[in-house]
Structure 1
């Protein structure tokens, strides 16, 4: 009788769910146990286009699927505008005013842009919900699906490396030209064996920049205890090949001599907009155009080209899981693209 007037505990989970996978289901099940009403804030299509450059499933379809899942009481679509500057769901949290905001994975409070809003409305943030293994993230699932549909023409590695040599012949970064070309060849070989994956590699890393890094999942840092040199990776049967890291989050760090130091590293505090304004001041449609990309690119590439400017003397390599593009950056500029 006395519990009838008790205020229900509202729990919120947010995400794109594009597409939904087993990790999402486990997260939803665990979040529901924490309160009486479970609300999902669904990142809209504008958010997805800005974050991943593409939408696999329309927001209304994603909403309908989520509403059909047992335990979900309400689904609220976010109100992100086209090319949103604020990618958080703070506005939605302010409107809903939940008691608990649940975050999955290995995030920390500094990784949650909504932390200030939660503090303002008295909402507790709970981490590490939905554990149960190394979840297959949505982008990884899509990459595998795309790879199963497409059989792309093989890259001519010798010709491509020759073009990269030409593009880098006047380079003054820390690593030698041979080390850069060795890494290029390794990445291109991986692209021929496996398509639709993302890669972010910083060559020329120095310990003085470690304050910019975080390791959200120590299991992904396979090179921490097993340092491998690039020249050894070209040998058959060598353990800890780059393929082992393709489904990891974050960057691979390599020193100027080609020794791989870490993998699965999150690079923080880069501020691409600030760097873009320094290098290319003026008015542009978006950051992709301002940095000189031909079209809109994934945030990974914006972070990578920014990293090449902040970490002076480095050469940064990326592969796009969306379109299999390959880029090399130095000093905040695109020096080669495929």
Structure 2
């Protein structure tokens, strides 16, 4: 098994890994998303998220979850492809797939020390913020790099394709 594949965990495997990290005094950061087409904005965001602690856990939406959130034409890449791409980054320490609309149950199970989302959210609108705060953790937002979004990338590809035909 390749090192990146070893980062893709089931929930029980993740919880065991998080317990091990906590025993070692490691600070666990959690974020989530679809990460369908990875762009520079994602890389910037995730690297900054990882710098808020010692380990970064990424909750990744399953294909069915992405379709429910983004529509029937998404995701463009299947969950195993997205998992492998995300696992290849040094700043992502573990990936777990979740099928719910939100990562609330996952956050409840993991109990991260730091919960992070982009600054298109406020602390109060981040799913699971109350769970993390009640457990003595922190909830933070990271400034997003302007001009980068998956929707913008998709729109540009479609516009370019339309121009060529």
Change beyond 3 A, Cα 1:120–1:38: same
Q: Is 1:59 aligned to 2:97, yes or no? A: no
Q: What's the counterpart of residue 123 of structure 1?
A: 137
Contact 1:94–1:117, Cα closer than 8 Å, also in 2: yes
- Structure 2 counterpart SS, 1:146: helix
Larger proportion of helix: 2
Tell me the matched-pair count: 141
Q: What's the counterpart of residue 92 of structure 2?
A: 72
Alignment of 1:188-337 (within 5 A): none
Q: Is 1:137 aligned to 2:149, yes or no? A: yes
Structure 1, unmatched stretches of 5+, are 81-86, 154-338
* TM-score calculated relative to the size of structure 1: 0.39
Contact 2:35–2:60, Cα closer than 8 Å, also in 1: yes
- Structure 2 counterpart SS, 1:150: helix
Q: Is 1:47 aligned to 2:59, yes or no? A: no
Structure 2, unmatched stretches of 5+, are 1-22
Q: What's the counterpart of residue 7 of structure 2?
A: none
Contact 1:45–1:58, Cα closer than 8 Å, also in 2: yes
1:123 Cα offset (Å) = 2.9
Higher RCO structure (Cα 8 Å, ≥6 apart): 2
Change beyond 3 A, Cα 1:137–1:6: same
| 1:14 pairs with one of 32, 57, 64 | 32
1:151 Cα offset (Å) = 5.0
Note the alpha carbon deviations across 1:27-51, whole angstroms, 9 max, x for none: 1111111111111111111221111
Q: Distance in 2 between matches of 1:49 and 1:73?
A: 26
- Structure 1 counterpart SS, 2:58: strand
1:109 Cα offset (Å) = 2.3
1:130 Cα offset (Å) = 4.8
1:152 Cα offset (Å) = 10
- Structure 1 counterpart SS, 2:116: strand
Q: What's the counterpart of residue 150 of structure 1?
A: 162
Q: What's the counterpart of residue 127 of structure 2?
A: 113
Larger Rg: 1
Q: Distance in 1 between matches of 2:97 and 2:90?
A: 19
Q: Give the alignment's Cα RMSD to 1 decimal.
A: 2.1
* TM-score calculated relative to the size of structure 2: 0.76
